[in-house]
Chains A and B, each alone.
Chain A
Amino acid sequence: MKGNCFAIEVESKLENIPVIGDFIVDTLEGFAVGQATIYQILLAVDEACTNVIKHAYSGQTGIITLTCELLDDSLVIIIRDRGKPFDPRSVPPPDLEADLEQRKIGGLGIYFMQKMMDDVSYEFSPEEGNKLIMRKRLTPDKAN
């Protein structure tokens, strides 16, 4: 696979989550990223896009644009949408120690994003909408 930046644009529907997943896996395999790291990044992207579909667009139809770029030894993934402002970092972290009765059903998405990626940043502007930037350094082990 030539080039180091790839992009996909999909409608904000849950049935496109696997499409985004395939795109991420194919792109990262093309970058020779190791399988374990691919799954970590896939999880972060999955969570981010699911949040866009469920919260930024609240189930309404919109467009999600995702770019995946290899920059030196880092992977940079940018997810853009024009839904309502939604900063996933505003979601409180889950209580991982809670027992079954106390354990809340949701709240893990952003936690996984932050655990799987080295950096998660968010921007919003009326002109460009939501922009989520996730970075991960690829060590020789991770690049397999």
Chain B
Amino acid sequence: MEIPEKTVGNVGIIFLSGRLDAYAANEVEQKLNLLCTVANANVVVNLKSLEYISSSGLRVLLASLKKVRKQNGDIRLACLQPYVREVFDIAGFTQLFKMFDKEEDAIASFKGA
């Protein structure tokens, strides 16, 4: 999976696409590890182009969320497609992550946080 990224102010944004299965999860984990090891990391994961996520993908996101919150940072999710959102709901992950319909809202949510 190609994982483009950009920065807006002090927020790092990465873009996931296609299928986040057990194979792609390794790459995503490495990318998130790079972003989340700094203190106060503000990360937005844009899922607009992600068509599918398995438990391996959820596992990676959860592990990164635990890490980043221990260091006073956060990972927030934007633009979930309906089916991906459904998987989050079934897994009980909706309560764990802050989610936004638009990327700009996710970025703005870090202001003053």
A residues touching B (Cβ–Cβ < 8 Å)?
Answer: 14-18, 21, 36, 39, 42-43, 46-47, 50, 53-54, 94, 96-101, 103, 105-106, 108-109, 111-112, 115
Q: Residues of A contacting B26 with CB < 8 Å?
A: 14
Selected contact of A46 from candidates B51, B54, B59, B69, CB within 8 Å: B54
B22 & A21 in contact (Cβ 8 Å cutoff): no
Residues of A within 8 A of B58 (CB): 108
Contact between chains at A18 and B91 (CB < 8 Å): no
**Given contact pairs A15-B23, A21-B52, A50-B55, a sample of 8 additional A-B residue pairs in the complex whose CB atoms are under 8 Å apart:** A14-B23, A18-B24, A42-B52, A47-B54, A50-B22, A94-B91, A96-B91, A108-B58
Q: State the Cβ distance, A12 to closest chain B Cβ, in Å.
A: 12
Report whether A21 and B90 are in contact in the complex, using a CB–CB cutoff of 8 Å. no
What is the minimal beta-carbon distance from B27 to any residue of chain A, in angstroms? 11
Instruction: Say whether chain A's binding surface is mostly helix, strand, loop, or mixed.
Output: helix
Closest to B69 in A: A100
Binary contact readout B63-104 vs A (1 if CB under 8 angstroms, 0 otherwise): 101100100000000000001000100111000100000000
Q: Given A42-B52, A108-B59, A112-B55, do A100 and B66 touch, yes or no (CB 8 Å)?
A: yes
Report whether B19 and A21 are in contact in the complex, using a CB–CB cutoff of 8 Å: yes
A97 to B92, CA, bound (A): 7
| In the bound complex, CA of A47 to CA of B55 (Å) | 7
Determine whether the beta carbon of B54 is less than 8 Å from that of A50: yes
A100–B56 CA distance with the chains assembled, in angstroms: 17
Query: What's the minimum C-beta distance from B95 to chain A, rounded to whole angstroms?
Result: 8
Enumerate 15 A-B pairs (CB-CB under 8 Å) in ascending A order.
Answer: A18-B21, A21-B19, A21-B52, A94-B91, A94-B92, A96-B92, A97-B92, A98-B92, A99-B96, A100-B96, A108-B55, A109-B54, A109-B55, A111-B55, A111-B91
Is B11 an interface residue, CB under 8 A from the partner?
Answer: no
Contact with A along B23-64 (1 / 0, CB 8 A): 110100000000000000000000000011011101100110
Contacting residues, chain A, for B55 (C-beta < 8 A): 47, 50, 106, 108-109, 111-112
CA distance A96 to B54 in the complex (A): 16
Instruction: Specify which chain B residues have a CB less than 8 angstroms from the CB of A50 in the assembled complex.
Output: 21-22, 54-56
Contacts of A42 in B (CB 8 A): 52
